Amino acid sequence: MTTPASGASLAPPRHSPDLAAHHGPASLGAGLGEAWLASSYSPHRWREECGVVGLWAPGVGEKLADLCYLGLFALQHRGQESAGIAVTNGLHIDSVKGMGLLTEAFREGRPTLDGQAAIGHVRYSTHGGSLNCNIQPIFAYSPGGFVGLAHNGNLTNAEEVKAAMLAEGCLFQTKTDSEVILNQMARANREDAEEAIADTLRRMTGSYSLAILLPDRLIGARDPRGYRPLCLGRLQGGGWIIASESCALDAVKAELVRDVEPGEMVTIDRGGLRSRIFQKADKLTSCVFEYIYFARPDSILDGLSVWQSRFEMGRQLAMEFRGREADIVIPVPDTGITAALGFSQQSGLPYLEGLIKNRYVGRSFIMPKQISRETTVEMKLNPVRSNLDGRRVVLIDDSIVRGTTSARIVSLVRRAGAREVHMCISSPPITQSCLYGIDTSIRKELIASNMSVEEIGRTLGVDSLLYLSQEGLLRSVGDPGNKRNCLECFS
């Protein structure tokens, strides 16, 4: 079940992977290598936003995999395409991976090794990424032992680094940029594993939060600009956990200690926890989209409540909505709910449920194909006619990317009898593609990059359309001077 990445001296894994139909070619000539590289890192193929968990808990035995499962379950919103867990006792690895939700990926059981450390990963794919070989965690075997990796983020220099490694004869088993990190770690000419990892990360640019599994330790690392979140917690009865969001710590009854700092690497072993800064950046640029959409509202990221941030986005929207009239405020569930509550409090308009969500349908934003997104909207939402009929409605949503989903939602509300529909978005217009791991589509598909706000409003069929200003967004996340947030997708 483990997947060794090539480019290092391999030792036999405990389980042998079945990758014949999925991984890259066994030997690459220059032309074939370039073609495969292009197919893997085409600018029209968007990288994944994922969730990672790592646990160091030598005393819990076979329950370690269950704790990892619970942590991943809390992060299921970050990835619904595939999942994997790997457990080690220092000598062997037991890894189980599969496609689908956690309940599908682990239908035949979870790792049963009596281990001391584990890492886990949930992933959502982008265009062309739904392959078994891309399921994480992934592994390499080097003279120093195995290295396992779970990665959230996107490397912006992956093409360059991978091309150089291919030219040296390095082989790749997957089409993910995560394997570039793994192979570089395995190939690093360093006796000390932590120095090898630090050297590797200093070569990488872009976004990453990592859970790294070694025979005798667990390592967590976050990119120097802090694009992707990562937090550290203490397990009851001893032991540690690292995770993409604090809600994963709550799931295993762990205490949130702090966030892993940008450019920090934390190492946990039998000697306890130690920390080092492997690289500093001149500016922090955490992804503000985590607060707008991606993170769970009960999470705390970099010391800031996601729920409180979204509530404040709604309040700021209401302030910017002044001068217009309406009867009720309704959210697009789920990520519009908290902002709608804030809008209602600030404006004094009643908050009502106008759309009911079918809880058994996934998040349309992370469906890999447009036809899936459009079909899912009809399956996922149904209007409450008694709350909408004859009323002037403020419809709150977190963002508009392509516009197709929003247009269908507006149509649902109109057909339920709404007299007017005023759409308010708790983020600025998305005009640029994201390089750092959020699937915001290629630029030509972004409706705000091709139309004015008035044109978008006419396309969606609303009476008015209001986006939250960048200033209002920054005030909502407590950063009015923009000292720590990335806004590149808005500008």
Nearest to 209 by CA among 272, 174, 135, 259: 259
Q: How far apart are CA 61 and CA 63, in angstroms?
A: 5
The dihedral sign for the CA sequence 105, 176, 23, 168:
negative
80 to 52, 122, 435: CA distances (angstroms): 13, 7, 21
Asked if residues 105 and 98 have their Cβ atoms less than 8 Å apart, the reply is yes
Q: In what order do the strands lie in the sheet with 145-155?
A: 4-5, 138-142, 145-155, 206-214, 217-222, 264-269, 272-277
Nearest to 179 by CA among 155, 214, 196: 155
Nearest to 79 by CA among 3, 176, 166, 2: 176
Residue 133 among the catalytic residues: no
Asked if residues 40 and 159 have their Cβ atoms less than 8 Å apart, the reply is no
Q: Give SS3 for 73.
A: helix
Q: With left for phi above 0 and alpha for psi between -120 and 50, is residue 154 left, alpha or beta?
A: beta
The dihedral sign for the CA sequence 100, 372, 124, 33:
positive
Q: What is the DSSP letter of 89?
A: -
Annotated active-site residue in 50, 68, 170, 486: 50
- Catalytic positions, written as ranges: 50
